[in-house]
Amino acid sequence: MADDTGTGPDQGVEPREVLALEVECYAGYRGEESPVRFRLGGRWLEVEEIIDRWLAPTHRYFKLRARGGGVYILRHAMDEQRWELTLYDSDSRPAERLSSS
């Protein structure tokens, strides 16, 4: 249990930050939006494949591969209509990385 004196077990652990993104989506016939491209570091990345998607009570998650490589997990905060990058993998290691199982 951490306390505000800086002496708890969480001492030295930095909170994980997320990166806000601009995302363009396609709304399919059911009206559910799926990302088709997103802006990261001033450039647009096209979504090549949505590998997986899942729901949490207040967020939607998309695990995707961008054209040109890289695997990303994007999180959509539904109440705030905000997109965030929660994970990036350069996709340069063996296929077992970021398994969806």
40 or 6: which carries more pLDDT confidence?
A: 40
Tokens of 58: 């207040």
Q: What is the residue extent of each domain of the chain?
A: 19-89
The pLDDT tens digits for 29-83 are: 766 689 999 999 889 999 999 999 999 999 999 999 999 899 999 999 989 989 9
**Contact (CB, 8 A) for 78 and 60:** yes
**Contact (CB, 8 A) for 26 and 36:** yes
Q: Which of 18, 53, 21 is nearest to 34 (CA)?
A: 53
* pTM attached to this predicted model: 0.70
90 or 9: which carries more pLDDT confidence?
A: 90
How many other C-beta atoms lie within 10 A of the C-beta of residue 21? 18
Residue 18's pLDDT band, with cuts at 50, 70 and 90, is low
